[in-house]
Amino acid sequence: MKPTVLQLGPLLPLVREGLAANYTHLDLGALSDAAGFLAEHGPAVDAVVSSGRNGVNAALIDALPKLRLVAHFGVGYDNVDVEYAKKKGVAVSNTPDVLTDCVADLAIALLIDVARGVSAGDRYVRAGAWLKGAMPLATRASGKRLGIVGLGRIGRAIATRAEGFDMEIRYHNRRQSPDAPYAYEHSLEALARWCDFLMVATAGGEATRGLVSKPVIDALGAKGFVVNIARGSVIDETALVAALAEKRIAGAALDVFADEPRVPAALLALDNVVLTPHIASATTDTRRAMGQLVLDNLESFFRDGRAVTPV
């Protein structure tokens, strides 16, 4: 018999077609009676496919007594209760590596945008303001100091790109990476005080909630910028908005927010802020690779008992 795989929300056609072709495919989707559906079909489910939009909590795991694998579409899995899954003997996989380059590309694009005023300049021209005079001078990015919060796969890819702009690089992790070629700052506040640009690339979840706190933001100072391509929860968003509005920091470029897709109105009104709708991995190339890795994880798990990229 084919394993039964439950899809929790919208997925790429590539993934949907793969699930339908190889498994007994169930789609929780936008059902009005999800609880009734799970009560009827939950006992048969062997695996679920989750994503950043649709996570897996303890209650869902308990509703699926045969569950063996959570195949997560995304590198971040902070909306999956991994510890409870492990306690219940449920494996979890994610989709690392295949999105690293696109996320790092956008990180550098956001850094240059907020420093040089690319988006602001576009708005300036479209509004006809150039006819009245030149824009205020911007900030140089090349040769500046970049502090990276989280020197994992994505953090290292960002650092490699930043080297091409002759940026001096330091980083902060929970633990120092012995093979890292960059200087390590034991204190995040010290890193913020040192750098011109604070790049947030760490994992999300409770362990890093509010990590970039008001004291860290204050340490960045009036000439410092923050760029976040990690998770909105990592930054104290209230403190960040206040610092931007009061010009206690120079600017911010944000791809993620605390309550997506809702963005604080105060941010929308600021011209020293670049806002993108969580698109760091949103290219056709990367999303197809992520989708294929989800299918590969399922196939490997049901064949050999181990996913290709287990958490």
Q: For residues 311 and 306, give the distance between their C-alpha atoms in angstroms, rounded to a whole number.
A: 11
Helix axes 153-163, 100-116, angle to 10 degrees: 50
The catalytically annotated residue of 260, 287, 288, 303 is: 260
Within 13 Å and on the Cβ side, how many CA atoms surround 144?
A: 20
Active-site position among 209, 278, 288, 299: 278
CA distance 124 to 109: 19
Dihedral (Cα; 100, 106, 108, 109), 10-degree rounding: 160
Edge-to-edge strand ranges of the sheet holding 168-172: 183-184, 168-172, 145-149, 197-200, 225-228, 251-254, 273-275
How far from the centroid of its chain's Cα atoms is residue 166's Cα? Answer: 26
167/158 Cα distance (integer angstroms): 11
H/E element, 274: strand 273-275
Catalytic option among 156, 231, 237, 287: 231
Q: How far apart are CA 133 and CA 102, in angstroms?
A: 36
Q: Can 260 be counted among the known catalytic residues?
A: yes
The answer to whether the beta carbons of residues 171 and 147 sit under 8 Å apart is yes
By annotation, the residues acting in catalysis are: 231, 260, 278
